[in-house]
Homo-oligomer: A and B are copies of this chain.
Amino acid sequence: MNTQPYKGSRDFYPEDKRLQKWLFAKWAEVCEKFGYEQYDAPMLEETALYQLKGSDEILSEQTYTFIDRGDRSVTMRTEMTPSVSRMVAQKRQELAYPLRWYSIPELWRYERPQRGRLRQFWQLNVDIFGVQGQYAEHEIISVADAIMQSVGAKRSMYQIKLNSRLFIDFVLKDYLGLDEVESATIRRLVDKMAKIDPAAFAASIEASMSPTARDNGAPAKLLDLLQLKSLDDMPADVAGHPSIAELKQLMALLKTNGITNTVFDISLMRGFDYYTDIVFEVFDTNPDNNRSMFGGGRYDGLVGLFGVDPVPTVGFGMGDVTFVNFLEVHGLMPALESETELYMAFIGDMYSSVQPVLAELREEGVTVAVDTTGRKLDKQIKTAEKKGIEFVVFVGEQEIQTGQFRIKNLKSGEEQTLSLARLITVVKDRRKK
């Protein structure tokens, strides 16, 4: 019988779970400081939810979709945005806006497992509902930045790329005169631009446009635009679009918060169709991991698809696997200790008579594991060491009678004989370090 977990999923042994708990606690702490409340939605949703407006590629090729025993088509959630939109729509009238919600769902996608990508992963989702103006974008990007800061990242380690869907639509439709079909193809091409050879990319752009568009010089105009690195260098025909001013304002406002690592990136598309305005992505600047880590943007149209009044929304999703990769390449992984502070080794069979001592330790909040194996003392100590527990206390008849306990710090090697009250203080003092 195979003991491995299902392909693309993970077993979390206590040392792995400890890292996940640390990460989720960081995420939650930052979100709550910004006034976000946690919610959750089911692991299974009816498949129709994902047909509403998602990425078709994901639905047709990358989902776990099946028919349940009651003949309903269900899908394991691949992202949280459709579910959270459904939940907001369900209580559209009752909820108090601005609504600030976060969640850390487990998600499943049927993909070929690779670095930074597994079939099973978790994703922090942070969304603000009910805010029209760009303060929503500012706050959401501030939350993303605060999460990076909370794990010790420096702003040189990551870059926040910004673009506007409205602006791109304007460029494709009005500036270049392309139709919907051409535009969709171009958007997909541009999304993959960084991974394609420049000459091949230019040829693909040319090939995806109509003769009329080519005659109008649209390919060259687009390629020129895609070279731009700054909002200040826009050609006059597009520089007046309101999105340009909005992006400039947003970047200026972020700067007042010390978020100086923003850049305009006209090639930033984001995969999902539901974005309607400003989009952003956080990139790892480390040469060993130079990739998009996560992103988000404004999607004002999704809640309204459920037949209720639309709700302006800005949000982002941040995956655990990619985030841990970032921590690794930048040397930011935390050193985490066992949740168990004290190991109790027995000299003789003390299990029954030590119960009042255990009760008092736990009453005081000390986390303590007892050795119930009856093995020799050195084996009991070895077990504590293997578990990474800092303190071991030795309990025999004499200790119970005198109320004085010998405690050893397995890291420093220091030994002391202490009353129970003193012992509790020594163990608790360790936490403050």
Contact = CB atoms under 8 A, between A and B. Distances in A.
Interface of A: 1-7, 9-14, 16-18, 20-21, 32-46, 48-49, 52, 61, 64, 66-70, 72, 74, 76, 86-87, 89-91, 96-98, 100-101, 106, 108, 110, 120, 130-131, 133, 135-136, 138-139, 146, 253, 256-257, 305-307, 338-340, 343, 351-352, 355, 359, 362, 365-373, 382-383, 386-387
Contacts of A370: 35, 139
B366 A33 contact: yes
Contact of A68 (B5, B32, B110): B110
A14 B42 contact: no
Given A3-B89, A96-B387, A120-B42, A101 B33 contact: no
Contacts of A69: 61, 110
Contacts of A110: 68-70
A36 B383 CA distance: 14
A1 B48 contact: yes
A246 to B, nearest CB: 15
- The count of identical subunits is 2
A313 to B, nearest CB: 13
Contact of A17 (B40, B97, B257): B40
A423 to B, nearest CB: 16
A98 B345 CA distance: 12
Given A14-B101, A373-B97, A1 B91 contact: no
Contacts of A146: 362
A147 B365 CA distance: 14
Contact of A352 (B52, B68, B256, B343): B256
A340 B42 contact: no
A131 B382 CA distance: 17
A153 to B, nearest CB: 17
Contacts of A368: 33-35
Contacts of A37: 14, 17-18, 338-340
Given A14-B37, A351-B135, A42 B5 contact: yes
B372 A133 contact: yes
